[in-house]
A and B are shown apart, each in its own frame.
Chain A
Amino acid sequence: MTENFSKLADYLRFDFVRNALIVGVLIALCSSLLGVTLVLKRFSFIGDGLSHVAFGAMSVAAVVGLTDQMALVLPVTVISAIILLSMGQGSKLKGDAAIAMISVGALAVGYLLQNVFSTSTNVSGDVCSTLFGSTSILTLSKGDVWTCIILSALVLAVFIVFYNKIFAVTFDESFSQATGIRAKAYNLLIAVVIAVIIVLAMNLVGSLLVSALIIFPALSAMRLFKSFRGVVICSAIISVFCALIGILISIVAGTPVGSTVVVTDLAVFAIFALIGVVKK
């Protein structure tokens, strides 16, 4: 045990470890906030679909040879979010089918592109690390860290300023709209913020596991808390805690970061679900 702690202390002296912790915590915080809305609005799968779109966009960026992949991935994901959301509302192609189609389509296109046009010798390694985020969190540049800090601050600010409106639109869209709240505009805002969060979170857990980061803390918190504010605050705390523990464990034990964080989230969910059952 003490050996592990000294090992940890050693690691914490490195810049890249500290960067990973800062970015990890920020991403976890942001992704948990809107998770509650996503789960309650039955939008969980949109998160999943968008993460696959982001994977596809990242492959395209890699093939074209963009140095700043974010410049392509972020706008593509945001636009897909807007399209997915407007599809869900009364169009012929039903929401869940549209999401499934876009998400697997983007996945296939992404893998195909990486495979055919790849310049690297280790294609499956590259794909694996984009899908499961195995190393990217530990190889962040100064620029990546700053991008992450600024985007997280933006997400937080938007969430706090529009908190009451997000609540109203999540709870009852038709009432809000009838009383003059522009529900459609807020839905759009929610979708855009989610897209930003997903692109950010891909760094931490990779695109396949992103939706876990978004929905697990919200689901855990909903087992125990009974007010919207309680659920939001609790899921933020759970998410940050799990990200920290997950990253630290993965450093000490040498496990992949993304899946370790998600498994920690899963464990917390199991504990909360159990407490929820016992309390009843």
Chain B
Amino acid sequence: MALLTAQNVTLGYDNTTVVEDLNFEVNSGDYLCIVGENGSGKTTLMKTILRLKNSLSGKIFTGEGLRQNEIGYLPQQTEVQRDFPASVWEIVLSGCLNKCGIRPFYSKKEKMLARENMERMGIAHLEKRCYRELSGGQQQRVLLARALCATSKMLLLDEPVAGLDPKATAELYEVIDKLNKEYGITVIMISHDISAAVKYASHILHISHKPLFFGKTEDYVKSHIGQAFTQGGQGV
């Protein structure tokens, strides 16, 4: 039984199919990168995993005791967030909300968890700062810390380095790698950055309206599609 399994999944909107026949498994400790061109269905797939959308057919289910609300999520930034007046502390703490249930306020335990995750992400000193005044890299760390409050098992990241400068990009990849290797958190990441995907991920899922490849990264690099994409598609 895997942590997350997709069986014959077809995704799309209303009458248009975006991806067909997806089959893959994510096991505990994996680092899966989902790659593919724009509009190939990556974000749709992620939304379906998070149950923000329903699949047209087939099913995606969790296993090994991973509950649906225990998947941490790092979404792409929205327009609303760019000028949102909120302190780092408020945002990180809001990740603990799924532990509150119907209790209206946070307990000591949740506040400790939030503090712990801020230290893990190296943003403890930013606690009182306003989110909208932080750099792009810092903002992503805040959102990562929030996601970590919601999960200790699985993180879903939607193009986490989009819009970051090269230094912040490299740092963020290191942080995510550390979460995967040291803390054993399973990572599923959507990425445009194929060179980083090949460097860090243990598994690759390449989709373009249908699944082109799913398997270990070392096999992907040797495969026909992998070679075409890694050489021709640098920085796509």
- Chain A 100-124, CB-CB to B under 8 Å as 1, else 0, gives 0000000000000000000000000
Residues of B within 8 A of A161 (CB): 104
A40 and B69: CB pair below 8 A? no
Contact pick for B85, options A41, A165, A174, A231, CB 8 Å: A231
Q: How far is the CB of B186 from chain A (nearest CB, A)?
A: 15
Residues of A within 8 A of B87 (CB): 226-228
Residues of B within 8 A of A160 (CB): 104
Q: Which of A167, A175, A225, A227 neighbours the largest number of chain B CB atoms within 10 Å of its CB?
A: A175
A contacts with B, residue count (CB < 8 A): 30
Asked if A164 is an interface residue, CB under 8 A from chain B, the answer is yes
B97 and A177: CB pair below 8 A? no
Q: Which residue of A lies closest to B103 (CB)?
A: A164
Residues of B within 8 A of A177 (CB): 50, 52
Tell me the bound Cα distance from A248 to B190 in angstroms: 59
A178 and B90: CB pair below 8 A? no
Asked if A229 is an interface residue, CB under 8 A from chain B, the answer is yes
B98 and A181: CB pair below 8 A? yes
Asked if A171 is an interface residue, CB under 8 A from chain B, the answer is yes
Interface residues of B in 13-67 (CB under 8 A from A): 47, 50-52
Given contacts A164-B106, A167-B90, contact A226 B51 (CB under 8 A): no
A178 and B73: CB pair below 8 A? yes
Please classify the interface of chain B as helix (H, G, I), strand (E, B), loop, or mixed, using the class held by over half of its residues: mixed
Contact pick for A227, options B78, B80, B81, B130, CB 8 Å: B130
A179 and B69: CB pair below 8 A? yes
Residues of B within 8 A of A226 (CB): 85, 87, 129-130, 133
Tell me the bound Cα distance from A175 to B47 in angstroms: 10
Contact pick for B71, options A42, A179, A229, A231, CB 8 Å: A179
Given contacts A179-B150, A180-B69, A230-B85, contact A164 B100 (CB under 8 A): yes
Given contacts A172-B75, A180-B69, A227-B130, contact A167 B80 (CB under 8 A): no
- Chain B 89-100, CB-CB to A under 8 Å as 1, else 0, gives 111001101101
Contact pick for B75, options A175, A181, A231, CB 8 Å: A175
Asked if B86 is an interface residue, CB under 8 A from chain A, the answer is yes
Tell me the bound Cα distance from A225 to B85 in angstroms: 7
- Chain A 142-177, CB-CB to B under 8 Å as 1, else 0, gives 000000000000000000111111011011101111
Asked if A210 is an interface residue, CB under 8 A from chain B, the answer is no
Q: Which of A42, A162, A228 neighbours the largest number of chain B CB atoms within 10 Å of its CB?
A: A228
Tell me the bound Cα distance from A178 to B81 in angstroms: 17
Asked if A29 is an interface residue, CB under 8 A from chain B, the answer is no
Residues of A within 8 A of B104 (CB): 160-165
Asked if A222 is an interface residue, CB under 8 A from chain B, the answer is yes
Contact pick for B86, options A164, A171, A181, CB 8 Å: A171
A and B contact pairs by CB, cutoff 8 A, 10 listed: A162-B104, A165-B104, A175-B95, A178-B51, A178-B69, A179-B71, A179-B95, A181-B97, A227-B128, A228-B85
Query: Which B residues are within 8 Å of any A CB, using their own CB?
Result: 47, 50-52, 68-69, 71-73, 75, 78-81, 84-87, 89-91, 94-95, 97-98, 100, 104-106, 128-130, 133, 146-147, 150-151, 156
Which 9 residue pairs across A and B have the least CB separation, nearest first?
A: A180-B69, A226-B130, A227-B87, A178-B50, A168-B94, A179-B150, A178-B73, A179-B98, A228-B86
